[in-house]
Amino acid sequence: MPTAKYTGFLPGKHPIEGYGDGGFCFAGMSHRGSILALPSGIRAWDAAGPEDISIDSLAPVFAEAPGLIEHLLIGTGTELVSLEKSLRQRLRAVGIRAEPMATAAAARTYSVLLAEDRRVAAALIAVA
């Protein structure tokens, strides 16, 4: 059971320990809402649904991308939702392979790839 409440940014790389009920658990903390798990740390993300996934909402990903992120797992909620063509092209232009999938699969895959020391990030929409 998480011992602390997450306050918006946690530096460092942390596996996702749990998800559901509108949030995520990591590093012994819980957070309600969506998150970006980046090489610099885990931060709160304002995206509430797949329609909120955009070049603008992923600005922190683009800021860290050069050389630090090779795979971006995008948890689109309870169902797989395709990314807009312009977003896929923008990610590809900076060397990121975007992999949209349901949030549960993205959270699990992120933790596995992180344990393998891969250059991975995740944009995870919270699910109930």
- Output the domain CATH number for residue 68: 3.40.1230.10
> Is this structure's pTM higher than 0.85?
yes
Task: Please name the residues in contact with 125: beta carbons below 8 A apart, sequence gap of 6 or more.
Answer: 34, 47, 48, 49, 50, 52, 53, 75, 76, 77, 103
Is pLDDT at 1 greater than 50 in this prediction? no
Terminal Cα-to-Cα distance of the chain (whole angstroms): 18
Determine the Cα–Cα distance for residues 127 and 68; give it in Å rounded to an integer: 27
Chain segment 109-122, per-residue pLDDT in tens? 999 999 999 999 99
Determine the Cα–Cα distance for residues 42 and 88; give it in Å rounded to an integer: 22
Chain segment 41-90, per-residue pLDDT in tens? 999 999 999 999 999 999 999 999 778 999 999 999 999 999 999 999 99
Question: How many separate domains does the chain show?
Answer: 1
Q: For residue 15, what are the domain limits?
A: 4-124
